[in-house]
Structure 1
Amino acid sequence: MKDMQFKRHRRLRSSANMRALVRETHLHIDDLIYPIFVVEGENIKKEISSMPGIYNLSLDQLKGEMDEVVALGIKSVLLFGVPNEKDAEGSGAFHNHGIVQEATRLIKKMYPEIIIIADTCLCEYTDHGHCGVIADGKILNDPSLDLLAKTAVSQAEAGADIIAPSNMMDGFVAAIRKGLDEAGYEDIPIMSYAVKYASAFYGPFRDAAGSTPQFGDRKTYQMDPANRLEALREAESDVEEGADFLIVKPTLSYLDIVRDVKNEFNLPVVAYNVSGEYSLIKAAAQNGWVDEKTIVLETLTSMKRAGSDLIITYFAKDVAKWLAE
């Protein structure tokens, strides 16, 4: 043994403090963006059956949620709206008194320093559940852009700090950037869902938002999960059109894409830890099959390690508590 030469990597793992000293990737509370589902009506706090611990909240229940978010030190929320009435063009998305617009005004009145990110899409508001205008059973790209730009402007007028378009129509960033600029909101950034795959991991979200397509699927506008290089083309287009952040969605099955996007573009990269990823861990933890805290922190750290700067996650409140321990 005396003559053997080998490297002793374990020297840097010898204690908790030693491991912390050399740790390469760190998860911070400022990395977290917490999604909130706001609904029309009164006295509604309804747990989403497929997303334990996540609720549909009416405006009168929003204060309690925001009090907790702020007390935990979370600085950013992402708002999704669930209207009572829907129509073919999703007019509730761009109505001045739409649910996201009203929630934005309320939160800004309570906590003006909170960063409000408004999800900018039509699917929660259309009676057909698709993210654009429909004609003869087809999702029309260009007519949808006008409605998305109107939605973004109405959200900015309500006080949203960041516009986050999630529809995957071609040219959506350019149309929204033009609409915002012409309305005098040239300083409002766009957090683009630049790389959004047609994923089975969105199932619980569709329960929460009531946005399941009434016919067909979204594979003509969301990306094929098998494709890698296409993600770079999509992200490149959004960068050229004026995006300020790039979202990769989902994340756990697409960590290679997160790294590709981070390596290729000099913009903040946002990982979306989506509903299916959340619910899988919650279900396993409730059955005692995994330790929830350990596996969540490991999962989110992997997203940071892959290259994400920010993480949209339904675990944000739990993680904030764990990081404060």
Structure 2
Amino acid sequence: MTGSTGAVRVGVDLGQGGCRAVACEGTRTGHASTPGFWGADTDVLVADAVTAALADLGPDRDAPVRVGVGMTGLNGQSPPTEPLRRRLRAAGLRGTLRIADDSVTAYLGALGPVPGAVVAAGTGVVVLAVGADGRTARADGWGALLGDRGSGHWIGQAAIHRALRDADRGTPGPLGDAVSAAWGPVATLPARWRESPPTPERVAGFAVMVAELARAGDPAARQIWRTAGRLLAESTVGALRRAGLADAEVPVAGTGGLFRATDLLLPSFARVLRAGAPNARPVPATGDPLAGALALAGPATGPPALTGLTTHVHIEERAEHR
């Protein structure tokens, strides 16, 4: 980066399953990853990801940086910026820092500056709808204990519940075999989980096996994925209505790991979406939340409605504003 006169952009996507970062200067990029939301303090995870991505880009940090962070766990609230700002400054960085709920960066990556709705579904799930009049509405994103209906965690947990219910009925099936293969005998599962509870991302990882069983024809696994699609669509319809888009012709994009299984998810999702918001149309996401975090880094931050959901600070200063 020697001799660079422009800012280096860094995007960070902090989710439950992992933290990814990309640094860009011209056509060159640097990449890094750190553990997810449950791995350490969020300011440590993000700062480590930023500095690692910059190191991958090149050793010279003379240029200012524009850092954009999409973060899970905010639940639509303003993030505490001072700990992260201090860490970035201690790393010798100067420039700007913009932080938003991960629903904002998912939206920027998937749809960009147009009205519509984006469903970000991985370990957890959050929906953001943005109206043409600037109204926004967020749905779910409550976390594994309170919500995340239809998410990877929900699918994994629903499959485990079904396997235990089948064991109670004396009708074990493929889901029970899969649970035993992943976590040991179901009879001793409660004691093991009390001693060492699995993280949400580990439970969500079981959704991959549930998808395999569904594609192999297991009816219970297929039903779980159909229900997940319905739940995601219900949250989407609720967000569209609250944003004034129930009857609007707007795009709805799905992003995140769950939407790789469109064969299992999309039929029920599209059916329920059509019933609740008949003019909304499912479309492929144009980019992922990491691309959205890079867009958040600036210089622009997207539609004014999303700018209002973003916290902006200077790394060298303490003052912050929205």
Taking structure 2 as the reference length, the TM-score comes to: 0.26
Taking structure 1 as the reference length, the TM-score comes to: 0.26
- Identify the structure with bigger relative contact order (alpha carbons < 8 Å, sequence gap 6+): 2
